[in-house]
Structure 1
């Protein structure tokens, strides 16, 4: 049994005041209130729960709630399909710039309830409550006009509608251009179909008037970017007149080569030898033969001298970076008999790379044109209209296939030599593979256009 002193200390605190009496658990349970939960029907205006994620809503904003009924199809437990009406609850609020819309988005399989507690009766009324998700939208974007055809449900139309509402400046401009260029028979009147077809046909004819036809491509007259004028269809045309030298090189340019030609003639007729440091194979091997032939010597030597300048001009560009040379440096590096020759070569076989026309570039098209013109000029130098490609390939320092392709572009025939020719010339088997005979004969044979042949086969 505890002593009176111990019992006094338990019932009083350190200051001597009595300690508070803590009721037992049985006493507290009897004294607490008993809550009664009542389940209530939702009715027409139930409490609504709102889910808001990532949005900061102003405290002064007030929402208005409304509901709408929709017809749906349901199945009974027996499997019978019946029509029913469901109520969809929504909330809505708006500010000057933003609209807030709350709607039910799918079903997550969870039921939500709101309990209302009455402290006087200790009753809790529980109401079923729908859960809505609040989204926000900028009013300016919402009110922006969307194309009418976006409502058709087409994927392309939907993408255009998105571009109209949220696209950048480039996408909106492209969409506007497409709408402005749209032509329909309803907008043009009862004779619209005929008018549109005739207008398009007229525009196509005008735009393609300068394009080569399939026949001109087969005859070579359409290859204007590579070839000089072709006179293959004229009456009385010969191998010498199918390509005319005056339409390729002006007379004043050929006359500018006369000083070099006179030096050649003086040296050869004096018993000396003439060598070309630019074209040691082709030009050097033909100077004496042209002079000894006695046939149109001066004119053929002028062409031969022009070919020498052309080979030197070609070497400067293929050794330059990106086939481009600055015009003042080109005049310093290129030596010719006359300034008119330099100007002619620059104008005919180069393009300006920039607006000030100082950077001259020999593009792939111009390079092919140079090869084609050189083949034609070389065949005019030859007395019989035939030549071996090997000498020209050596001086141009390119692959034989490129020169051979140019020979076919001008309508010439490329053939192989007979074995007896190589034995007579003392040419070995390995070296003979690079030798090809090029001959210009009428009618000219041009390479067929591959695109035209494919389209013709499909028809």
Structure 2
């Protein structure tokens, strides 16, 4: 049996709805002539936004202009908008300063242009001119508090007193007991001049306690005495603080030793210099100075001893904050041509039981700095030593500062002598030993 077909409903009025669209008569559109007006004046219209502000229209804004840093040579129709930057400001409001700025280059709408149009219905003409897009924001002006706000300053509690009140109210028995102990043992300080009251006189108990404290602390070390103890415990060669010349601050007899200087071999270097042969070592600092120091046997020996220290340091292996020495045979191979007495002197001075502690590593590097100052007449370019020891520039400068040297930039004569341009000169700092010595001061907590 077939399903019954669904019948359509008729319209209530019996009329049929036409499927044709009804043509709507529209009045003839009038023609509009658009004209772009070129901005030839110094001032252009402004389209300003005031986000989050209810700007008072009665306020007047003062304009300020300045030349743009990237102003085009041909501004085109934009005129002063493209060449000059505008800022508007108003301080007429009693509490708020208003400042309006254009969007900076690189912003989301920095390349978007804004226009203002004036339409004349009589002529059908629309004149359009480019305008500036600005954002006006308000800045709350700082206000000085009235004197009445500080009139009853003594009535306010400090943070400790507020915490004590909170602890007494909600704290545990243990915390309440601690607060009570602090209160009982507190010594009230005298009134300050700012409170405009007479100082509180100490009672007999307070005066006795203060006298007892003075007697106990009379034997404590002063800041100068503490500084002396710290200086003596630092990993650096001992300086002669009574020296009247830089050459007497760190002497060869102290850094190397008289007996050690006698057995340091330099004849091989002297023969090579006479034969005008190039001497290449594992240290750039030493290699560059052998020729210059060849006229002084003493400086050649200091250079040879300095090279032995650098070879000794380079043979060690870093291990968790310390450096481990290799086996004796390997260590002697790393220090070729050095007598056993000299090698043993270096090993005993800068290591202990086959290891170099952090203190001994710092002591070795500060000794190297002092020897380098002697070789270079107390003015050292720290760059070569930094490369030999594989240290950062700041670290190398710190080691020189620890022995009293002053770190300075290269002057024009040194730049010319070394052939350094401006960028390279930034890498070359000079350590100079001058009197009086300047050591880094240790920081002590205030009493």
Q: Tell me the TM-score normalized by structure 1.
A: 0.46
| The structure with more helix, counted as a fraction of residues | 1
Larger Rg: 1
